[in-house]
A and B are shown apart, each in its own frame.
Chain A
Amino acid sequence: DTAVSQTPKYLVTQMGNDKSIKCEQNLGHDTMYWYKQDSKKFLKIMFSYNNKELIINETVPNRFSPKSPDKAHLNLHINSLELGDSAVYFCASSQAREGNIQYFGAGTRLSVL
């Protein structure tokens, strides 16, 4: 049973389209994150949610809208996709009592054409 699962694994789309990536964790963690990994493999935080509440938004364009329907799910919707959005997006989760160890999903590779 995968601890943090993301769908889809690959996403190829045209500029201007709207797309969503879904993430689910079955670890019972309170906090979930979205990270972006660029073409040079650099990982940077985008959003952080704790118990469904947005905690951190790292100056991400408002075309990106995370939604957490419950603490086990954190989805990422992207409007009006641009070429520069092409990246690998990782979902992660953590629990404070575990010392902030973050468990990552397998990633979603987004290619905007």
Chain B
Amino acid sequence: AQSVTQPDIHITVSEGASLELRCNYSYGATPYLFWYVQSPGQGLQLLLKYFSGDTLVQGIKGFEAEFKRSQSSFNLRKPSVHWSDAAEYFCAVGAPTGNTPLVFGKGTRLSVIA
């Protein structure tokens, strides 16, 4: 069965510091991988996605993620965090075969301090 693990429930970083949010997945083949962000009271916004090819993918708002097949990981990174990045971050996997629901991790809440 597909599953996604985000080991960190809550992370606090200082503004300007670097960030890495961890994501591990379980899937029978190479899945489609996604990171979404949810700001308080808002819906989910796609940050970036990995389908195939270059394992380092760039997204919006200065985020990037690296797919590592050997570790079944898809960690999200940002070199310098801004206060507006405080939000809930979700990693998700989906089947590459078409329109199927995503399986989400339980999310990591990011707090940013001055």
CB 8 Å contact bits of A92-111 with B (1 = contact, 0 = none): 10111001111111110000
Q: Say whether B106 contacts A96, CB under 8 Å.
A: no
- A103 vs B36: C-alpha distance when bound (angstroms): 10
The interface on chain B, measured as residues whose beta carbon lies within 8 A of the other chain's beta carbons, has a size of 26
CB 8 Å contact bits of A71-113 with B (1 = contact, 0 = none): 0000000000000000000101011100111111111000000
Q: Say whether A100 contacts B99, CB under 8 Å.
A: yes
Report B45 CB to chain A, min CB distance, Å. Answer: 8
Chain A: CB-nearest residue to B108 = A41
Interface size class of A (residues with CB under 8 A): 20 to 34
Number of A-B contacts (CB under 8 A): 66
- A94 vs B107: C-alpha distance when bound (angstroms): 21
Q: Which of A36-93 contact B (CB under 8 A)?
A: 40-45, 48, 50, 55-56, 58, 90, 92
Chain B: CB-nearest residue to A32 = B99
Q: Say whether B49 contacts A41, CB under 8 Å.
A: no
Residues in chain B near residue A50, CB distance under 8 A: 99
Residues in chain B near residue A44, CB distance under 8 A: 104
- A74 vs B90: C-alpha distance when bound (angstroms): 24
The reply on B43 being an interface residue by CB < 8 A is yes
Q: Say whether B96 contacts A100, CB under 8 Å.
A: yes
Q: Say whether B96 contacts A106, CB under 8 Å.
A: no
Chain B: CB-nearest residue to A99 = B51
- A100 vs B38: C-alpha distance when bound (angstroms): 19
CB 8 Å contact bits of B31-48 with A (1 = contact, 0 = none): 010101010001111100
With A40-B106, A105-B43 known as contacts, the answer to whether A99 contacts B100 (CB < 8 A) is: no
Q: List 28 A-B contacts (CB under 8 A).
A: A4-B43, A31-B99, A41-B38, A41-B106, A41-B107, A42-B104, A42-B107, A43-B90, A48-B99, A55-B99, A56-B101, A90-B43, A92-B44, A94-B99, A99-B49, A99-B51, A100-B32, A100-B96, A100-B98, A100-B99, A100-B100, A100-B102, A102-B34, A102-B94, A104-B36, A106-B42, A106-B43, A107-B42
